[in-house]
Amino acid sequence: MLNQIPIQEISTLSIWIPLILAGLRWKTADRKLRLFFVFLLFGAVVDGLGWASYANQEFFLLNRAASFGQFLYLWFEALFFIWLAYEFYQTKRSQFWRKVLWVGISLVFVIDALNRYGMEEPNRIFSSFVYSGLLVLSSFLMAFALLRMAEQKEEIMKEPWFWILSGIFFYSFSCFFIDMLTFTEFAEGLWRIRVVFNMIQYVFFVVGLVKMSNRQ
Please spell the DSSP secondary structure of 39-101, one letter per residue: HHHHHHHHHHHHHHHHHTTT-HHHHHHHHHHHHHHHHHHHHHHHHHHHTTT--TTHHHHHHHH
* Highest averaged pLDDT of the listed ranges 42-46, 185-189, 205-209: 205-209
Tens digits of residue pLDDT in 82-95? 999 999 987 778 88
Domains of the chain are 2-215 (1.20.1070)
**What's the pLDDT score for residue 187?**
58
Of 190, 187, 192, 175, residue with least CA distance to 4: 192
| Predicted local confidence at residue 72, as pLDDT | 94
d(CA 43, CA 93): 30
Of the candidates 41, 6, 42, 3, which has an alpha carbon nearest to the alpha carbon of residue 22?
41
Calculated CA dihedral for residues 1, 46, 81, 146, nearest 10 degrees: -30
Computed on alpha carbons and rounded to an integer, the radius of gyration of the chain in Å comes to: 18
- Determine the Cα–Cα distance for residues 144 and 97; give it in Å rounded to an integer: 14
Residues of 167-182 as b/e, b for ≥16 C-beta within 10 angstroms? bbbbbbbbbbebbeee
Q: Is the pLDDT of residue 171 over 50?
A: yes
Q: What is the pLDDT of residues 60-111, one digit of tens each?
A: 677 778 888 999 999 999 999 999 999 998 777 888 999 999 999 999 999 9
The crossing angle, in degrees rounded to 10, of helices 124-152 and 160-179 is: 150
Inform me whether the pLDDT recorded for 11 exceeds 80. Answer: no
Q: What is the mean pLDDT of residues 164-180?
A: 89
> Residue 5 above 80 pLDDT?
no
Would you tell me how many other CB atoms lie within 10 Å of the CB of residue 199?
15
Going by C-alpha positions, the residue among 4, 74, 80, 97 that lies closest to residue 35 is 80
Q: What is the pLDDT of residue 60?
A: 66
